[in-house]
A and B are shown apart, each in its own frame.
Chain A
Amino acid sequence: MNNFEQYRRRFLGGALATAGAAMVPGLMLVEMAHSRAPEEPVSSRNRWGLLIDTTKCATGCTECVTACNTENGLSGKTGPQDSQWIRKVELTHKKTGAQHSLPVMCQHCEEPPCVDVCPTGASFKRDDGIVLVDRHICIGCRYCMMACPYKARSLVHEDLNDTQLAHMPRGKGCVESCTLCVHKIDAGENTTACAEACPEQAILFGDLNDAGSEIARRLATYASKEIRADLGLNTGVRYTGI
């Protein structure tokens, strides 16, 4: 081993050790942010959301939709009476012809119109920003479906005949939509089925309130958009590249 090789090894070893030390505070932050005990209620310390990079999202790819259907026990049919929690939307710029493909699901608004119009209080926003339907209270009136600017909600029209998954109760006569995989978040898994399934890593899940998180860092660095930002709903799902 010559002198140069020895020097190179020393340098690399030192660099790795430094990198390891630098990682520790970051890891600690992540650990602290998601260590909610099972008996501890959710709080507004967290605000969960998604950042979707439309430049990575491939036209025709429906991996996230399929993963969502599998995770939540949806049929996968796309008829007018079937539940769709994620829709793939294809956009074409009228003048340039530039094409974009993006998944659109419940945008988990800070000021959700579906909650405003719900006559029973079934449609609600959890303290950590997730917009949900309490199916015990939902009467299936579908006002929320009318109010949602994103066409994110579906009504279950037919009896599901005990085909529901244990972690995702669903039933005839209730409105439903993307839950941001709330069962995974409550279990501390800190991810969603769509984000895990995306082959291009175009979907990033994270805590918008945690300045140290990847999603907050990227939102602070790059330009991102809300769909229908003019409505002032402050959505939890953001897009880059459109």
Chain B
Amino acid sequence: MLASWLKTVALAALVALSPLATAAGSAGVPEPVIQKGKGDQCVEDTEYMRKNHMKVLKQHRDKTVHEGIRTKQYSLKNCIECHATPNEKGELSVLGKDNFCQSCHTYAAVKVDCFQCHSSKPAGNGAMHPIVSTRSGPGEKTAAGMRHHLSGKSPSLNSTLSVKDIAGVIK
């Protein structure tokens, strides 16, 4: 009799406390800031890139180093060209607390090794990616890129994605 009473109390306590536990969990880890890259779309669907960017990069790296194939689509250099945003020091980079690579990798607790050797900064003037954003002419793209470079920020960079958008990452 006593045992069943205890069981009921324990169950009630558990039910009462469970919302608290959930709330504490969601407040613990800050969600990654995903800054939007340049252009209208990535070289593949966003969902695909979230899951497979590392595979795509690894395949391309071997082709580049050993076979001299330097196509732009899956090149790390071109990832950086589009996804670099101003960091804490004001430099265009994919590394930094809220910057593209580091923000997400910190959240996922996955070490990113690329930048021990590769530069995290874009090579040129940060001009628009040549593969995506085919809607405007090449001249326009470069001019827009230059403006972005000179001002150090662009309107599209300030927009962050909602929690729903990054569902693929949380899963």
Asked whether, in the complex, the Cβ of B123 is within 8 Å of the Cβ of A38, the reply is no
Complex-state Cα separation, A165 to B118, whole angstroms: 8
Is B148 part of the binding interface, using a Cβ–Cβ cutoff of 8 Å? no
B45 → chain A, closest Cβ, in Å? Answer: 22
Asked whether, in the complex, the Cβ of A162 is within 8 Å of the Cβ of B119, the reply is yes
Give the residue name and chain of the A residue nearest to B123 (CB): A166
B89 → chain A, closest Cβ, in Å? Answer: 11
Asked whether, in the complex, the Cβ of B66 is within 8 Å of the Cβ of A169, the reply is no
Q: Which of B68-76, B135-143, B158-166 contacts A (4 or more CB under 8 A)?
A: B68-76
Is B53 part of the binding interface, using a Cβ–Cβ cutoff of 8 Å? no
Most interface-central of B65, B77, B121, B122 (chain A CB within 10 A)? B65
Is A105 part of the binding interface, using a Cβ–Cβ cutoff of 8 Å? no
Asked whether, in the complex, the Cβ of B68 is within 8 Å of the Cβ of A182, the reply is yes
Complex-state Cα separation, A41 to B116, whole angstroms: 27
* Count of B interface residues, CB-CB < 8 Å: 23
Residues of chain A in range 103-140 having any CB-CB distance to chain B below 8 Å? 124, 126-128, 132, 134-136
Most interface-central of A41, A124, A126, A162 (chain B CB within 10 A)? A162
Asked whether, in the complex, the Cβ of B70 is within 8 Å of the Cβ of A171, the reply is no
Asked whether, in the complex, the Cβ of A39 is within 8 Å of the Cβ of B71, the reply is yes
Give the residue name and chain of the B residue nearest to A164 (CB): B119
Give the residue name and chain of the B residue nearest to A127 (CB): B67
A1 → chain B, closest Cβ, in Å? Answer: 49
Asked whether, in the complex, the Cβ of B68 is within 8 Å of the Cβ of A162, the reply is no
**Per-position contact with B for A2-38: 1 when CB-CB < 8 Å, else 0?**
0000000000000000000000000000000000101
20 A-B pairs with C-beta separation under 8 A? A36-B68, A40-B69, A41-B68, A124-B66, A128-B68, A134-B65, A135-B117, A162-B115, A162-B119, A164-B117, A164-B118, A165-B119, A166-B77, A167-B123, A169-B117, A169-B119, A170-B117, A182-B68, A185-B68, A187-B70
Q: Give chain B's interface residues, CB within 8 Å of chain A.
A: 61-63, 65-72, 77, 80, 95, 115-123
